[in-house]
Amino acid sequence: MAASPIRGGQAAADAALAGLDLSGYAAGRSRVWPRQRRATSRLSPYVRHGLLTLPAVWAAAAGAPAADRAKFREELLWQEYARHLYARLGPATARSLRFAEPVAVPSPVPVPAWEREPWPAEMACVATCTAELHQDGWLVNQARMWLASQYAVRAGRDWREGADRMYRHLLDGSAAANRLGWQWAVGTATGRVYGFSRQQVEARAPGLCGTCALQRACPIQDWPEVQTGARLQAPAALSGGRGWGGDSGAGPRRAELSGDPQAVWLTAESLGRGDPALVAHPQLPAVFVFDEPLLARLRLSGKRLVFLAETLAELGCEVRLGDPVSELAGRRLAVTHAPVPGFARRAARLDVVARHPWPWLRRPGTGSLRSFSAWARSAR
């Protein structure tokens, strides 16, 4: 399996941040094809794995043109909001948040190939996006929305299956951001379905339809007719209060020490040289555990594993394979808090004697997370 052109490691992350140019970002961030017309940063894989923190990326945008800076920082806030939501709700993000799945109404267009395959290779728009997903392990947000809508709204498949399928390949794949994006696209979070259509392809990928074998029998010629799902009983924690783990998932405000650690435990959320636990304990060996039971379930692509391997090789840490709780048993550990349920479960079963704060862009509280817009206004 060839590596992605987005290489892992702190050196690659630092180079990408140093070369950040947001000129034209607001106008070009949603272009899908051709690639050279895009205005994207491709920093998300480094942010997802903690090689770059959201506060550092936020600061790096300071000198950009005002409209581009505002749009870019709005995207960073979406990433933070997704983390807040996941830290609060945990496993509940795998269920429809506020609305049942939309019910597709049959179209007058002849039955398309997605009766067998939700992402049909015959459609140039879909094939272009899935090829990039498989080859690079990355997609612009507009392409992610196309694939989500095609899979769940057009083809009528379960959005969770599609989200898992996309997650396997994305270098920046996280349950937090990926699930939120899919729920937004299929309407289970907002009640408003994102309707993938030819009009969007022609606007965001001009000329691509002319390469398509189905250009004269386009199965997405018109907007999909869909019925918004019924309103559901939203998780109580969405409106405010404590989350699935009994708190906001924010972690400590300052380092919590209860003993002398013997090693620094690195997690997939925080693999940068600036990891707070690593910085606080430079004399200690660092260890990362590939979670074998989890990997067997997720079936991540080779490119994702290569990205992680490149990152770990640069760190020069101890790397193990197995169940993290078993592999780390008997060691007193220092670790950086990670705002994900899996970390909380494992940390509770390990001898963590030094827990360091997560580098939040906006620290979670106990207020409502029902609306990104309202949250973003209060977070600024």
pTM: 0.94
Residue 361 included in any domain: no
51 and 136 assigned to the same domain:
yes
Does some domain include residue 135?
A: yes
Q: Where are the beta strands (DSSP E) in the chain?
A: 103-104, 226-227, 256-257, 263-266, 286-291, 318-322, 332-336, 351-356
Strand partners, 267: 270
Q: Are residues 266 and 379 in the same domain?
A: no
231 and 313 in a single domain? The answer is no
Q: Please write the tens of the pLDDT for every residue from 250-276.
A: 899 999 999 999 999 999 999 999 999
Is 32 inside any structural domain?
yes
Same domain, 280 and 221: no
In whole numbers, what is the pLDDT of the chain averaged over residues? 92
CATH at residue 284 = 3.40.50.620
Residue 230: is its pLDDT beyond 90? Answer: no
Residues 140, 134 contacting (CB under 8 angstroms): no
Strand-strand pairing, 332-336 and 351-356: parallel
Within its chain, how far is the Cα of 85 from the centroid? 12
Q: What angle do CA 168, 163, 221 make, to 5 degrees?
A: 120
Q: Which of 48, 50, 54, 42 is nearest to 4 (CA)?
A: 42
Distance of CA 23 to the CA centre of its chain: 24
Strand order in the sheet with 286-291: 256-257, 351-356, 332-336, 263-266, 286-291, 318-322
178 shares a domain with 35: yes
The pLDDT of residue 109: 44
Which residues, in sequence order, are CB contacts of 283 under 8 Å at separation 6+?
Answer: none
pLDDT at 107 (0 to 100):
47
- The reply to whether 352 and 377 lie within a common domain is no
Residues 34, 123 within the same domain: yes
**Number of CB atoms found within 10 A of residue 215's CB:** 14
**CB neighbours of residue 52 within 10 Å:** 22
Co-location of 167 and 31 in the same domain:
yes
Residue 28 lies in a domain: yes
Q: Tens digits of per-residue pLDDT, 109-165?
A: 444 445 668 999 999 999 999 999 999 999 999 999 999 999 999 888 999 999 999
**Same domain (yes/no): 164, 139:** yes
My answer on whether 299 and 226 are in the same domain is no
pLDDT of residue 380: 57
Residue 25 φ then ψ, to 5°: -60, -45
Domain housing 266:
256-356
Residue 312: pLDDT over 90: yes
* Residue 251 within any structural domain of the chain: no
pLDDT of 113 reads 45
Q: Could you give the CA distance from residue 193 to residue 191 in angstroms, rounded to a whole number?
A: 6
Residues 181 and 275 in one domain: no
Report the alpha-carbon angle 23-148-267, nearest 5.
75
Total of domains in the chain = 2
Co-location of 44 and 123 in the same domain: yes
The maximal CA–CA distance of the chain, rounded, in angstroms, is 70
249, part of any domain: no
**All residues at 6 or more sequence positions from 327 whose CB lies less than 8 Å from its CB, including other chains:** 287, 289, 320, 321
Look at residue 379 and tell me if it is in a domain: yes
Give the domain CATH number at 201: 1.25.40.80
Amino acid, single-letter form, for residue 281: H
DSSP code, position 4 = P
pLDDT in tens, 171-201: 999 999 999 999 999 999 988 888 899 999 9
Has residue 263 been placed in a domain?
A: yes
